Amino acid sequence: MSKKKILIIKPIHEAGIELLKSNSNYDFEVVENDDPEFLKSKIKDIDGISIRTSKLNADVIKVANRLKIISRHGVGYDNIDLEASKQKNLTLAITATANAVAVAEHVMFMLLNISKRKNMYDTTVKEGKFNDRNKLPKTVEIWNKNILIAGFGRIGQALIKRCLGFEMKVFVYDPFVSKDVIEKLGGTKVDSMEEACKDMDAISLHIPLNDKTKNIINYDLLKTMKKNCIIINAARGGIVNENALVNALTNNTIRAAALDVYEQEPPPDNHQIFGFSNVLLSPHNSALTLECRRRMAIEAAESILYYLSDKSKLNFNNIINKDVLNI
């Protein structure tokens, strides 16, 4: 019997590679090139794919005659053509349980960094300006402050624990999660994101990017926020309208922003967002801790191996479209 074939688009942590190597029933290949034409030449006889943030468009998926599962090394899957996947009846898996802690910690790092003006204070000391400390803008506490967690999946639920540890008042917007679940974890459910934003000191976004959420943070909404509000986006670029955010920062409509994701990645070299001292940026790496990279690689590999060998072993929390499994 011929071996099943697995394609790894962009390298993953060695732990995932070792797992694949330990299964002699499969051949796998890791490729750096994610150009669509190259992928079309590779994918024709592939049974399973692991993919990170590369685009997997309809033209590529259409020629995948043996493909059964796409395993997304990460959580968001807006880089995959879902309609083409549906037409092919493909199973889509994500690494939903792998990155919650890493992203939640990154959000807290961003929130604390802005609130405590880490960069400014650190530079002051290193430049020999210690005695200027009383001239510097003052920091603020996050104790007793209102924070809105928009999206209450695993990342949102990991984040609430950390916010409560700092004794913040946590409000949650997620129409798909019940009031009982939110209150049990220490939050207060809000039914209107627009209304809730008016009273928040910080807003952290953890919602998927789709037609309903694109540009949900726009200038009309930003204008309603408190002047000391901090916007944090570690979800998907496109949820925040970056032109609107630039305008809000220019006009001092909000206090600050922290972005790990962008409408265009990488963002253009002349992006206006780079010019603000009250903006903290990271290169879409909130989940790329050593521990999380290892967990994601293992989960991504396991989803493919278990799907192709024994579907009962699958982590069903990681399967987006369970209806196609037929088990």
- Reported as a pLDDT band with limits 50, 70 and 90, residue 82 is very high
Beta strands in 121-265 (DSSP E): 146-150, 169-173, 188-189, 202-205, 230-233, 256-259
Average pLDDT over residues 290-302: 96
153 shares a domain with 76? no
Domain of 73, CATH number, reads 3.40.50.720
Domain check: are 227 and 312 in the same one? no
- Residues 145, 215 share a domain: yes
Q: Which residues of 100-138 are buried (b: 16+ CB within 10 A; e: fewer)?
A: bbbbbbbbbebbeebbebeeeeeebeeeeeeeeeeeeee
**pLDDT the model gives residue 327:** 59
pLDDT value at residue 323: 81
Say how far apart CA 6 and CA 17 lie, in whole Å. 11
Confidence of residue 71 (pLDDT cuts 50, 70, 90): very high
Question: Containing domain of residue 30, as a range?
Answer: 4-98+290-324
User: How many distinct structural domains can be found in the chain?
Assistant: 2
| Confidence band of 35 (pLDDT split at 50, 70, 90) | very high
pLDDT of residue 140: 95
Domain match, 137 and 218 both: yes
Clarify whether residues 131 and 118 are in a common domain: yes
Pair 61, 15 in one domain: yes
Contact (CB, 8 A) for 90 and 112: no
Q: Which residues contact 173 (CB under 8 A, 6 or more apart)?
A: 148, 149, 150, 151, 152, 189, 190, 191, 192, 193, 196
Look up tokens 């072993």; give the residue.
313
Q: Read off the pLDDT of residues 146-192 as tens digits, 9 standing for 90 and up.
A: 999 999 999 999 999 999 999 999 999 999 999 999 999 999 999 99
- Report how far residue 51's alpha carbon sits from residue 34's, in angstroms, rounded to the nearest whole number: 10
| Kind plus residue range of the DSSP H or E element containing 246 | helix 242-250
Please tell me whether residues 59 and 132 are part of one structural domain: no
92 and 106 co-located in one domain: no
pLDDT above 70 for 326? no
State pLDDT tens for residues 245-279: 999 999 999 999 999 999 999 999 999 999 999 99
What pLDDT, in 10s, does the model give residues 96-127? 889 999 999 999 999 999 999 988 899 999 99
* Region 294-308 average pLDDT: 96
Q: Name the residues annotated as catalytic.
A: 236, 265, 284
Q: Provide the angle, in degrees to the nearest 10, between the axes of the packed helices 290-309 and 14-21.
A: 30
Is residue 134 predicted with pLDDT exceeding 80?
yes
Bridge partners of residue 68, in order along the sequence: none
Rounded to an integer, the average pLDDT of 57-85 is: 94
Summary mean pLDDT of the chain: 95
Q: Note whether 182 and 196 are within 8 A (CB).
A: no
Give the pLDDT of residue 55. 95
Residues 24, 150, single domain; the answer is no
Residue, of 321 and 143, whose pLDDT is higher? 143
Q: Is 85 exposed, middle or buried (0-12, 13-18, 19+ CB in 10 A)?
A: buried
Same-domain check for residues 163 and 240: yes
The per-residue pLDDT for range 36-47, each reduced to its tens digit, is: 999 999 999 999
- Specify whether 75 is located in the same domain as 134: no
Pair 32, 144 in one domain? no
